[in-house]
Amino acid sequence: MTAALMGAAVQGPETPELPADLRGRIAFLAAPTEVATAARDRLAALYGDPDPDTAAVVVALGGDGFMLETQHRFLGRNLPTYGMNCGSVGFLMNGYHEENLPQRLQAAQAATLYPLRMTTVAGDGTRQEALAINDVNLLRETRQAAKIRILVDGKERLPELICDGILVSTPAGSTAYNLSAHGPIVPLGANLLPMTPISAFRPRRWRGALLPSEAVVLFEILEPTKRPVAAVADYVEVRDVRSVEVREDRNSRLTLLFDPDHGLSERIIAEQFTV
C-alpha cells in the first residue's frame, strides 16, 4: 500500500490544464498483458517515453482494473489520466486509437472524482485508513451472516442489518459492484453516495439509501467474534473489523479525461437505459 493511501490526505491542485505542446509529456502505462504492453511500445515510439513523474498527462492502457491502479498511484498528484481500452469491460476507458493522440488529449473532457476514505478499527483498537475510488464494502468472512449497525452523521439509522455485506460507492463506482448488488446508478454531479446492502436477510425489504456526499457513515459490527466481517476499499482489505467509518475525501481529487462524444457523465446516464 502506498503512502498516498495511508494517513492524512494530500491537498491536490485544482483540475490541471494540459500544456499546448504535449510532445515528450505523455507517459504511457500498461497493464501486464501482451496486448497492453505491445500497445505501450508502439505509442512510446510514436510520442516519446517520459518518466510519469515528469509527465503532464498519463495514458493508461488496459481495463477498468488497471485504471483504478493508475489512479491510486497518482492520488496525491492529481495527474490527468486518459485511458485507452486494452482490456475487457473498459467503462472508464476510451477507445484505442494510435493516431493524433496529442490532439485527442487536448480535446478531451475532464471528469473530477473524489474518493472515499475508509477508517477501520480492529478489536485491539488498531486503526487503518485507505482510499477507495469505486467503493467501500463490508463482507462476511464465514458462513454466518453479518450483523451490522448503521449510523449516519452520528444518528442511528438501522439498529441491525443482517446480510452478506453492505457497500458505499462513489458516483463513478455506482456502475460497478453497487450496480451488481442492485443499487442505484448516480450521475457525477448529483453529490450523492449510494449505500446498498448485499443479500439483505433482515430487514428483508430494505434496499439501501442515497446519502448526501458530505455524510459520515459509521458501520458497527455486532457479534464480531461469532460473525467476523472484512472491509475492502477498492483492493485494500482489512479483516476482522469492529467498526468502519466512510466519508468522501474532498482533499483528494482525481482527473479522468474522456473523448467529447463519450464522456463519463454520458456513460453513466446511458447505463441506466441498458437492457
* Feature table: binding site: 64-65, 134-135, 164, 172, 175-180
Of the candidates 64, 240, 249, 261, the residue annotated as catalytic is 64
Rounded Cα distance between 44 and 48, Å, is 5
Rounded Cα distance between 216 and 237, Å, is 20
Omega of the bond leading into 203 within 30 degrees of 0 (cis):
yes
265, 187 in Cβ contact below 8 A? Answer: yes
If phi > 0 it is left, if psi is from -120 to 50 it is alpha, else beta; for residue 36 that is alpha
Catalytic (active site) residue 153: no
CA torsion 221-227-228-229 (nearest 10°) is -60
Annotated binding site for NAD(+): 64-65, 134-135, 164, 172, 175-180
In this structure, what DSSP letter does residue 95 have?
P
In this structure, what DSSP letter does residue 253 have?
-
Cα 221 to Cα 105, 179, 195, 211: the distances in Å are 46, 24, 16, 20
Q: What is the helix, strand, coil percentage profile of the chain, to 5?
A: 20, 35, 40
Rounded Cα distance between 61 and 207, Å, is 36
Catalytic residues: 64
